[in-house]
Amino acid sequence: MIALTLAEIAEIVGGRLHATDGTPVVTGSVEFDTRKVTGGGLFVALPGERVDGHDFAAAAVAAGAVGVLAAREVDGPAVIVPPVSQAHTRSVALLGDRDGSGAAVLAALASLARHVVDELSTSGNLTVVGITGSSGKTSTKDLVAQLLEQLGQTVAPPGSFNSELGHPWTALRAGADTRHLVLELSARGPGHIAALCRTAPPRIGVVLNVGSAHLGEFGSREAVALTKGELVEELPSADEGGVAVLNADDALVAAMASRTRARVVLVGQSASAQVRAEDVRLDEQARAHFTLVTPSGSAQVALGLHGAHHVGNALSAAAVALEVGATPEQVAEWLSRAQRRSERRMEVTTRADGVTVVNDSFNANPESMNAALKTLATMARAGNPRRRAWAVLGPMGELGDDSVAAHDEVGRLAVRLDISRLVVVGEQARPMHQGASLEGSWGEESVLVPDVDAAIALLREELRGDDVVLVKASKFAALWRVADALLEGDA
């Protein structure tokens, strides 16, 4: 973060000083975990389910924090933030925020982030990139960050830290030497993406896709598209340097071109895309090779990431890098060197006995389930002889009235892809097992087990060398425990 006195921070957030004259300067990082506070930092006091950060203010100061951003007076120098409206409190998803103090602190944190981003952007040195979509945000964010790091200091969030807390926290990592700030934007309802854009206004916006994730909250894909499109509506005009990178292969995303003042760059495999992939082919590990075609020339890409779905992610990252000055040849080279950065996303590990575990258990929706199953099928078919493919799948959340049909279709797809064994974990995912059975599964080709422990026991008993196992479910199912158990003790 840029250096600011506590008095300046109080003015920015509309707060008041407590136990300080305001002259101490924040020169370190902004943290909400006392274990990560360093000298010169600012501690953000947030309520949680079990503990309240306000109770740890003194510990944060003892660890080196210059002051505390708080909703009430604490034991130490602080900026006390003003309260926010009940409407704003309801819009913030913060566990343990019973009195609105957390929403007030987050609102202040957003104001502080906006000030810092504005200061850095005004100097002409900072480019903010915003990424949204129903699936693939984190993988694309990681690709964009790896490409832009070749062109200057880049800040991006760890994992999927894309909430009202993660967004300003990441933005406040930017400093005078930062050239690129890469952010992913998620939403639980209308207006959320627009609000995140106001916290850190992007110059380049990327919309990856509109899928079935969060249908339980939005009601339809069209409603999802309305919210995802808030990103392109918030971009500056083409004359001001605004760029909207849109997926030409997704009709709902491509239609967002009419909703933005920014210059539109289409990406995809269709002929209408300015940045596109041609001659796409997959190797035995389902890693994509393709020709990157751009208005400035073409180059060959050999992705190290597993799954054909990463082609679209790579094209979006390529378009961003081209916009900030990279050449097609540089982009192709950097994409070919890019690695997976966030855990439990198509994380492929082969055991000493030849069993390959594909841990994609971080989260799931119908589109990402389909992509993961297709990747599994590709890896199995590439074996000589063909490898046995196991799909260990758990429930997908937030699908509302479409939940049964969506789970049913995943089970049917597993059969159509000739997956050897389908292990469905948990009663919530039962429609997957039923769909597989109705599609033509027989015997124990598809099996429903009650929990993670039962799945682990089955796999340990029946797996044999050279099998390939996909593990995937929504986060709440914690199916990564299956992957961890399969790899436990293996070098």
Task: Give the CA radius of gyration of the chain.
Answer: 24
Helix (H) or strand (E) holding 223: helix 221-228
Rounded to whole angstroms, the Cα distance separating 141 from 464 reads 36
With residues binned 3-state (H G I as helix, E B as strand, rest as coil), the percentages for the chain, rounded to 5, are 40, 20, 40
Q: Which residue has the higher pLDDT, 136 or 215?
A: 136
* Nearest by Cα to 378 from 433, 419, 439, 336: 419
Given pLDDT bands bounded at 50, 70 and 90, which one contains residue 212?
A: confident
Token digits of residue 460: 């340990």
Rounded to whole angstroms, the Cα distance separating 465 from 351 reads 9
Given pLDDT bands bounded at 50, 70 and 90, which one contains residue 171?
A: very high
- pLDDT at 88 (0 to 100): 63
Using the predicted structure, report yes or no on whether residue 86 has a pLDDT greater than 80: no
* Nearest by Cα to 258 from 291, 283, 302, 225: 225
Which residue's entry shows tokens 């509506």? 233
* Nearest by Cα to 150 from 397, 322, 389: 322
Using the predicted structure, report yes or no on whether residue 22 has a pLDDT greater than 60: yes
Rounded to whole angstroms, the Cα distance separating 123 from 156 reads 20
Rounded to whole angstroms, the Cα distance separating 431 from 405 reads 8
- pLDDT at 483 (0 to 100): 97
Question: What is the average pLDDT value for the chain, to the nearest integer?
Answer: 95
Q: What are phi and psi of 18, to 5 degrees?
A: -135, 130
Per residue in 270-284, pLDDT (tens digit) is 999 999 999 999 999
The Cα-based distances of 97 to 55, 92, 122 in angstroms read: 14, 9, 35
Using the predicted structure, report yes or no on whether residue 491 has a pLDDT greater than 50: no
- pLDDT at 188 (0 to 100): 86
- pLDDT at 408 (0 to 100): 98
Contacts (Cβ under 8 Å, ≥6 apart) of 438: 408, 412
- pLDDT at 409 (0 to 100): 98
Given pLDDT bands bounded at 50, 70 and 90, which one contains residue 490?
A: low
Helix (H) or strand (E) holding 184: strand 180-184
Mean per-residue pLDDT, 234-258:
98
- What domains can be seen in the chain, in order of their start residue? 4-106 (3.40.1390.10), 125-337 (3.40.1190.10), 347-487 (3.90.190.20)
- pLDDT at 475 (0 to 100): 95
Rounded to whole angstroms, the Cα distance separating 67 from 309 reads 45
Rounded to whole angstroms, the Cα distance separating 408 from 393 reads 12
Q: Which residue has the higher pLDDT, 140 or 444?
A: 140
Q: Which residue has the higher pLDDT, 95 or 307?
A: 307
- pLDDT at 442 (0 to 100): 67
Read off the pTM.
0.94
CB 452 within 8 A of CB 425: yes
Backbone torsion region of residue 361, taken as left when φ is above 0, otherwise alpha when ψ lies between -120 and 50, otherwise beta:
alpha
Per residue in 337-355, pLDDT (tens digit) is 999 999 999 999 999 999 9
CA atoms within 13 A on the CB side of 283: 11
Token digits of residue 304: 């190290």
Q: Which residue has the higher pLDDT, 243 or 124?
A: 243
Per residue in 400-414, pLDDT (tens digit) is 999 999 999 999 999
Which residue's entry shows tokens 């089970």? 411
Token digits of residue 430: 């039962």
CB 345 within 8 A of CB 139: yes
Helix (H) or strand (E) holding 375: helix 366-381
Rounded to whole angstroms, the Cα distance separating 86 from 98 reads 11
Bond from prior residue into 83 cis (ω within 30 degrees of 0): no
- pLDDT at 481 (0 to 100): 98
Per residue in 172-200, pLDDT (tens digit) is 999 999 999 999 999 989 999 999 999 99
